[in-house]
């Protein structure tokens, strides 16, 4: 007996599509039966209406069957996706790239932060009370004063980030905004959270913890978390919205002629995007707070770098947690499939255009997968085939050159 199972994901997906068609017909039928029964009872003579009291409710019975088919369709399509993913060598390489790509992005962020502190643009030092203070490099401080007192103040702030034009940052010096642009936190927030975290750990270690230290830690930690939350939710939301858009575009390309399947798959895409954004953001924000607190043992620089590392780890944890709630979010979204579909139909043209591109990419991926598999199965034959094609191409070029020089340049 072989040790591998051969499964065609397309056959599984076709079966899932048939489930959806059956599900739609069952929903229409039990709703119609429910209305017919209700009308029959209303039009029946009063003395005979009691005869219908013990008849089963088509709505409840049909709804139970619809729920069962709904769960089976979700599981079946998920199984098809898993088999398709396992069968795609290019997909595996892409997943590998995704993981290491995220690690590379984290490394780039921390390297940028360390370079900023290493070059001394912002420096931290302890005062006589053992608490941290900060000051900016002289040239950055002078540049900040010059910009803040010039007519280009708003222009330079907008160049750093349009959000720096808001009322919240109205009185924040330009040098502090530069620090926030690199480190993601205002230097004063970093100092306060570092001091309160170190005081909390010291209180625990020496058994001198009191309510004031806990309150200070929670206050500064919540502000630190809030700063991270804005960036994390925005970044995660944009990424998930992009992925959702591509999935919806792909759905229009695949199921454009099957409205029942299209509505369900688009609703699932929206539900998963919301679910992932919530789970990853919560994990990332919590990780940043914990990582920042642990990093504070090294100092303010450790607080910032620890927050970056904690945010990354928390995001990974949130990503795994999102998988546990994915089924629930899909079911909730399916309950709103009609309004979701109506909203998407308003921008249907854009999704269809992108869908054609996605469909072309998917076909390209399938072609590459086939080429890789055929090469692995018969590497020698594939090399010979390559040489044969190269030989034919070279012969064609030589014949063309002979024709050019022999006929068109015959005056030589």
CB 24 within 8 A of CB 260: yes
pLDDT at 155: 92
Q: What is the DSSP letter of 57?
A: -
% of the chain surpassing 90 pLDDT: 13
| Mean pLDDT of the region 332-358 | 75
| Mean pLDDT of the region 144-157 | 91
CB 36 within 8 A of CB 4: no
With a cut of 60, say whether residue 218 has pLDDT above it. yes
pLDDT at 173: 93
Average pLDDT, the chain: 77
With a cut of 70, say whether residue 366 has pLDDT above it. no
pLDDT tens-place string over residues 102-128: 556 666 777 888 888 888 899 998 888
With a cut of 50, say whether residue 225 has pLDDT above it. yes
Return the minimum-mean-pLDDT range out of 16-25, 48-57, 69-78, 269-278.
Answer: 48-57
181-195, 225-239, 334-348: range with highest mean pLDDT: 181-195
Helices (H), 164-258: 174-183, 187-206, 211-255
pLDDT at 281: 82
- Residue 79: burial class (beta carbons within 10 Å; 0-12, 13-18, 19+): middle
Domain residue limits, the chain: 9-72, 188-359, 378-412
Q: How far apart are CA 355 and CA 238, in angstroms?
A: 19
pLDDT at 386: 55
With a cut of 60, say whether residue 406 has pLDDT above it. no
* Tokens representing residue 121 in the block: 């643009």
Report pTM. Answer: 0.64
With a cut of 80, say whether residue 58 has pLDDT above it. no
Q: What is the DSSP letter of 123?
A: E
Helix (H, G, I), strand (E, B) or coil at 136: strand
Identify the H or E element spanning 134: strand 132-136
pLDDT tens-place string over residues 385-405: 555 655 566 666 566 555 545
CB 270 within 8 A of CB 333: yes
With a cut of 50, say whether residue 411 has pLDDT above it. no
pLDDT tens-place string over residues 79-104: 766 666 655 554 555 555 555 555 56
Return the minimum-mean-pLDDT range out of 81-95, 175-189, 284-298, 314-328.
Answer: 81-95
With a cut of 60, say whether residue 6 has pLDDT above it. no
Between residues 147 and 402, which one has the greater pLDDT? 147
With a cut of 50, say whether residue 409 has pLDDT above it. no
- SS3 of 318-385: the string is HHHHHHHHHHHHHHHHHCCHHHHHHHHHCCHHHHHHHHHHHHHHHHHHHHHHHHHHHHHHCHHHHHHH
């Amino acid at each position: 007996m072989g040790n591998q199972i051969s499964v065609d994901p397309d056959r599984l997906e076709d079966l899932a599509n048939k489930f959806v068609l059956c599900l739609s017909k069952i929903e229409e039928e039990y709703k119609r039966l429910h209305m017919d029964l209700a009308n029959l009872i209303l039009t029946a003579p009063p003395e005979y209406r009691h005869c219908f009291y013990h008849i089963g409710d088509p709505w409840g019975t049909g709804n139970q069957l619809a729920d069962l088919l709904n769960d089976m369709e979700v599981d079946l399509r998920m199984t098809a996706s898993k088999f398709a993913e396992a069968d795609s060598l290019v997909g595996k390489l892409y997943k590998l790239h995704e993981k290491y790509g995220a690690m590379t992005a984290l490394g780039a962020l921390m390297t940028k932060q360390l370079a900023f502190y290493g070059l001394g643009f912002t420096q931290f030092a302890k005062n006589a009370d053992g608490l941290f203070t900060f000051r900016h490099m002289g040239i950055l401080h002078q540049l900040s004063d010059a910009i803040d007192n010039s007519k280009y103040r708003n222009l330079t702030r907008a160049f750093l980030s349009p959000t720096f034009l808001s009322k919240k940052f109205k009185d924040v010096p330009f040098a502090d905004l530069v620090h926030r642009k690199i480190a993601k936190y205002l230097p004063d927030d970093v100092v306060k959270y570092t001091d309160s975290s170190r005081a909390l750990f010291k209180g625990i270690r020496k058994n001198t913890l009191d309510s004031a230290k806990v309150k200070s830690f929670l206050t500064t930690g919540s502000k630190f978390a809030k700063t991270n939350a804005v960036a994390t939710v925005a970044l995660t939301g944009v990424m998930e919205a992009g992925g959702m858009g591509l999935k919806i575009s792909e759905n229009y390309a695949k199921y454009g002629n099957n409205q029942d399947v299209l509505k369900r798959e688009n609703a699932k895409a929206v539900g998963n995007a919301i679910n992932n954004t919530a789970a990853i953001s919560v994990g990332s924000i919590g990780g940043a707070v914990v990582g920042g607190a642990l990093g504070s043992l090294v100092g303010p620089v450790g607080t910032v770098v620890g927050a970056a590392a904690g945010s990354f780890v928390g995001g990974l944890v949130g990503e795994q947690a999102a998988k546990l709630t994915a089924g629930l979010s899909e079911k909730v979204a399916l309950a709103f499939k009609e309004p979701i579909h109506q909203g998407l139909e308003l921008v249907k043209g854009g999704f269809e255009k992108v869908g054609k591109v996605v469909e072309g990419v998917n076909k390209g991926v399938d072609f590459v997968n086939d080429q890789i598999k055929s090469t692995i199965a018969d590497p020698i034959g594939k090399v010979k085939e390559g040489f044969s094609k190269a030989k034919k191409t070279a012969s064609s070029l030589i014949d063309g050159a002979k024709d050019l020089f022999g006929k068109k340049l015959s005056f030589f």
